[in-house]
Amino acid sequence: MVKTKIIFILFLVFLLESLGSAYDDDKNILEEIYFSEFDDFDDVYNEDEDEDEIFDVWRNNGRGNKNLVNVDTCGAAGDGTTDDTKAFEDAWKQACSTRRSVFMVPSGRTYLINATKFDGPCANGLTIQVDGTIVAPSDPEDWDPKSPKAWLVFSNLTAVTFQGNGIIDGSGSKWWAASCKKNKSNACKSAPRALTIDSSSRIRVKGLTFQNSQQMHFVISRSDSVRVNGVKVSSPGDSPNTDGIHISESTNVVLQDCKIGTGDDCISIVNASSNIKMKSIYCGPGHGISIGSLGKDDSIGIVNRVVLDTAFLKGTSNGLRIKTWQGGSGYVRTVRFQNVQMDDVSNPIIIDQFYCDSQKPCQNQTSAVEISQVLYRNVTGTSKSQKAMKFACSDTVPCRDITLDNVNLVARDGTAEVYCNSATGVIAGYVHPEAECLNSNDKKIEEYDVHNEL
């Protein structure tokens, strides 16, 4: 009898180990299929950079062998009211054309600069050191009509470092007041983006503060190998279209140790972007961390290989969001959100293939940007909305291969719920609230509007 019990107990132990092994194997297989592409990209966090070479512009009792170009010596007044645009342009010409130059904006001074484009290519070893404050004209009436969407643009640069403790201030309050999102009687017009890095490669940005931009604060466009570290972004929670960091048509971008609070997406990643990695991000206030919007006006949208690892979102109107318009095409795939803490966040997890940021209703269309291979792992916290997870996907182009692994979201008031429409995937670990609708091809029939955000 004792021998029989021992055999039975051993059988149970073997069975439990087998089930656990099978569960682990399923997870490993999922990760191997969906996320093996990240293996090489993970190394980007471990770059063995020579920080002294990249970030220390002073050597050997001061300047060392650096060529210092101070905007003050080129005629800048630095009083915040005199137009210092020409002094900045003259300093740029000198710094850009000379090897190992430092374009210096000194501390303790404020420089009023109009819309300006700083073009490369430049001589090797250029550092842009911003320790003072750069401000934009505050009145839209004073803006150069030839540059309606841009304030400070740096283009065609290679191996350039932007750094310092300075502030780039867009003076955006009058622009916000004139926005149609503030007042629907206003005409919908574009406004300048504070800082744009365009058509560049091997760029480093460290320590800068962006605030009160007219619209987007910091744009990375058509660029490759950009690393952003220790950047701060700040504007009021009700300032319209003031995305913190916006990535477009760019590859191999790393954002690390950034603190962002805005009136729109803390981080937005749009078309033709891949190999985007974000680590140690604070977001709030704002609209969360977003892929999209994509597919507007029947366009093609493609975003691939995105990782967010370690983030804290507080009081945002969305959490981890993928948003696409009806009528678009293309795909979003191979996305990993992990180690994310939410505090009083509305829509903590949301995929919305019916996004409609328009004053007019959007018409139903059958084509859509395909969304697949998205992993949410170790996502916890409190949801301000009852729907803690929303997967609002197209009937004709469903969301697939959505994986939830150790997700625990609790509603601040009431019971947290999950909404699914045409979304399938895998529950690979503890998940609360339960998301069994992902395990079924059946839609959860429910009239729920998650799409409009004006």
Catalytic residue list: 264, 287
DSSP per position, 58-110: --STTTTT-EEEEGGGGT---EEEEE-HHHHHHHHHHHHTSTTEEEEE-TT-E
Tokens of 361: 């209703």
Tokens of 214: 């007219």
Tokens of 416: 């947290």
Tokens 């293939």 belong to residue: 353
Question: In angstroms, what is the C-alpha Rg of the chain?
Answer: 25
Tokens of 379: 């996502």
d(CA 216, CA 196): 9
Nearest Cα to Cα of residue 389 among 295, 298, 322, 447: 322
Tokens of 161: 């470092």
The answer to whether residues 318 and 346 touch, using CB atoms and an 8 Å cutoff, is yes
Contacts of 167 (CB under 8 A, 6+ apart): 132, 133, 134, 208, 209, 210, 211
Instruction: Specify the 3-state DSSP secondary structure of 248.
Output: strand
DSSP per position, 3-52: HHHHHHHHHHHHHHHHHHHHHHHHHHHHHHHHHTTHHHHHGGGG----HH
d(CA 437, CA 13): 32
Tokens 């959100």 belong to residue: 337
Tokens of 369: 């940007």
Contacts of 16 (CB under 8 A, 6+ apart): none
How buried is residue 141: exposed, middle or buried, by Cβ count under 10 Å (0-12/13-18/19+)?
exposed
